[in-house]
Amino acid sequence: MQSAFGIIKTMKNSNIIHHPRFARDGKSVAFTPAVLAKVHALILRYPEGQQKSALLPVLHIAQEELGGYLSVDAMDYVATLLGIQPIEVYEVATFYSMFYLEKMGKYVIEVCRTGPCAISGGEKILAHLQEVLEIKPGETTPDGVFTLKEVECLGSCGTGPVMQVNSEYYEKLTPGKVDKLIEDFREYANRNKPGGLSWVEKFC
């Protein structure tokens, strides 16, 4: 647009949300029929008309089955499944710390930073991990294998310091133990599915 200020650039379609987290890549996402059957069974645990209640468990499943984080496409898909508005999914996904909105490493290492762990060596474990992985909390290693995160009390204070890697607890950590674990994870990283039982497998 030509104006007294020269050429002004304006966005053409103001309905599109331009935020990196909301970049849709247009790929359609969907659960496999087996997972979908489990999800439908989960929805039936809640009274008629309250299917939104299944949102948290279904988001756990979506995160695990659809790429390790909640892409906008995945969230929109969950909204359709539960018959709710996409915004109802976004506002929940952004509230809870276990939901990731960005691509994560294959192994997400979550170290407890809270008081009881801190006084029993948790600060040292976090420092050690930063040294070994050469990343800071919140970052992912360039090879995409590890993401390091600080989390709050994991309910494991008597066996601290503790970290959670893809939902598995690793307790009574020492720098030596951490080194060994990292080594193992590096080795496993080429296999298909890291971690223990999936959310879908947990629900009978």
**Which residues bind to other proteins, rule: CB under 8 A?**
45, 47, 50, 52-57, 59-60, 82, 84, 88, 91-92, 95-99, 113-116, 118-120, 123-124, 126-127, 130-131, 151-160, 164, 167-169, 196-197, 199, 201-204
Interface with ligand FES includes 157 (CB under 6 A)?
A: yes
Query: Whole-angstrom Cα distance, residue 72 to residue 25?
Result: 9
Spatial contact of 170 and 112, defined as CB atoms under 8 Å apart: no
59 touches, from other proteins, ligand FES, none (C-beta below 5 to 8 Å by class): other proteins
Q: For 29-141, where are the alpha helices, taking DSSP H only?
A: 33-43, 55-65, 72-82, 86-93, 115-117, 123-133
Residue 107: half-sphere exposure toward Cβ, Cα within 13 Å: 26
204 touches, from ligand FES, other proteins, none (C-beta below 5 to 8 Å by class): other proteins
- Residue 193 has which token pair? 């599915």
Residue of the chain from 125, 154, 163, 165 that contacts ligand FES (CB under 6 A): 154
Q: How far is the CB of 114 from ligand FES (least distance, A)?
A: 4
Residue of the chain from 162, 163, 178, 200 that contacts ligand FES (CB under 6 A): 162
Query: Whole-angstrom Cα distance, residue 64 to residue 31?
Result: 11
